[in-house]
Amino acid sequence: MPTLIEDYESGDPRRVLHAVWQTIGCRDPELLKPLVTTLPRLRSRTEGVELGGMIYLNSTHLDHAFRVIENYRDGLCWCMAYPDSLTYDPRKEQDRGHAEIRSTSTPGWEMTYECACTVCGQVFDVEQGDHHVTWWRWVPRGLKRRRSAAADVGGAA
């Protein structure tokens, strides 16, 4: 099976996007560590690859995957990826155990959520909107917290 690095460097849009979505959903240090060390190379090898995209440019998702790698490198909590992308569905994040939905407005196409990261306790106001596809805008309350600091206190909020 090709590694994510090989997929990023393949020049094949389908393989690059496969690697992108693997990275975006990933919280596995074993997968992320090699991406941190090769990040500058991945940036240059993916430059100019035509990724397409119907509603949102897929290059946006590539940029976001690189942000996920940078956040991991910099020791930021996983939840700090949320404000950088409109693709994180609070309900799916809750199903994965990544976030807890504390309250919502009246459910509908357009609604809001109050969510908390299950790792560091960071609270977010999430706005859900619908424009061809459903999107979610995550806005953190207060200051950024570091994953390592959260680990030091046993992950308590």
Residues near Zn ion (CB under 5 A) are 77, 79, 117, 119-120, 122
Q: For residue 51, what are the contacts with CB-CB under 8 A and spacing of at least 6?
A: 13, 16, 17, 57, 58, 59, 61, 62
SS3 121: coil
What is the spatial distance between Cα 40 and Cα 35, in angstroms, rounded to a whole number?
9
Nearer to Zn ion, 83 or 129 (CB): 83
Instruction: Kindly state the smallest distance separating residue 150's Cβ from Zn ion, in Å.
Output: 7
Half-sphere exposure (Cβ direction) of 59: Cα atoms closer than 13 Å: 8
Nearer to Zn ion, 43 or 114 (CB): 114
SS3 3: coil
Length of the chain in terms of residues written: 157
Nearer to Zn ion, 63 or 100 (CB): 100
Instruction: Kindly state the smallest distance separating residue 96's Cβ from Zn ion, in Å.
Output: 13
Instruction: Kindly state the smallest distance separating residue 54's Cβ from Zn ion, in Å.
Output: 31
Nearer to Zn ion, 122 or 128 (CB): 122
Instruction: Kindly state the smallest distance separating residue 79's Cβ from Zn ion, in Å.
Output: 3
What is the spatial distance between Cα 19 and Cα 66, in angstroms, rounded to a whole number?
11
